[in-house]
Amino acid sequence: MAISATTFAQQRKQERRERQNIILSAAERVYSRKPFETVSMRDIAKEAGIAVSSLYRYFPDQQGLFVEAFVEGTRRIIVRMDARISNGEITDLKAFGLEFISFLTENDHYFRMMTHFMLDGCLGAKPLEKLNEAARSVLDLFERVLDRCGLDADRRLLAPTYFAALNGILISFRNYPGRDSAEVRRHMEHIAAIMAEALEGYSRRGA
């Protein structure tokens, strides 16, 4: 009996997680089309094909759903970057920076989520804890890259420096007026390469 009860409990937990994933995927599609401040739970429920009342069974409020969608985005970028590192596509800071910019350019809604949290910061305790865990995992990724590149300076300092620099590049230039997307992309990549060289130089001087 105990085994059966455990099996049913595990099945219910798995089914709940699958439904949450369906809702998160729907939320990401809506967020990719509309500004976050204009998205309602009704919009997400409609995209997911469920009633709004059912949506609240899985996410108590839109803030919690928003954070979960962002956390999923951090998981995806970490998986992609780690794969690129493992297969030898990323061997230096420049290659990492270009890939980081590429991911957030291709997945603009994740970037907009990131900047929303950076600029707003008004979260409850539980969503804030999840957000901080996600941010820490991204900075851990940056530290792994620094280690892989053999940079001996303080990685706890260099990781957030490079993270802030790359996000600053995206904020400053991704929607630069009067230039087409290809030109903007080249410009951002050029600046990211300069920043990578600067950090590598800083690391060598500190070694």
- Residue 100 CA to residue 74 CA, distance in Å, equals 11
- Residue 196 CA to residue 205 CA, distance in Å, equals 14
Shared fold status for 1-59 and 62-206? no
162, 193 in Cβ contact below 8 A?
Answer: no
Q: Identify each DSSP E strand in the chain by its residue range.
A: none
pLDDT on residue 142:
93
Closest C-alpha among 126, 118, 166, 123 to residue 145 = 166
- Residue 120 CA to residue 194 CA, distance in Å, equals 30
For residue 159, the SS3 value is: helix
* Dihedral angle of Cα 42, 27, 137, 185, to the nearest 10 degrees: -130
Could you read off the pLDDT tens digit of each residue along the chain, which spans 207 residues?
A: 455 557 878 888 888 888 999 999 999 899 888 877 788 999 999 999 999 999 999 988 888 888 888 888 899 999 999 999 889 888 899 999 999 999 999 888 888 888 877 776 677 778 788 888 988 999 999 999 988 888 877 888 899 999 999 999 999 998 888 888 899 999 999 999 999 999 988 887 765
Q: State the burial class of residue 145 (Cβ atoms within 10 Å of its Cβ: 0-12, 13-18, 19+).
A: buried
- Residue 133 CA to residue 127 CA, distance in Å, equals 10
- Residue 169 CA to residue 155 CA, distance in Å, equals 21
- Phi then psi for 166, rounded to 5 degrees? -65, -40
The answer to whether the predicted template modeling score (pTM) of the entire model surpasses 0.85 is: no
Which fold is adopted by the domain 1-59? Arc Repressor Mutant, subunit A (1.10.10)
User: What are the extents of the domains in the chain?
Assistant: 1-59, 62-206
Q: Residue 134: CB partners within 8 Å, gap ≥ 6?
A: 70, 71, 74
Q: Which CATH class is domain 62-206?
A: mainly alpha
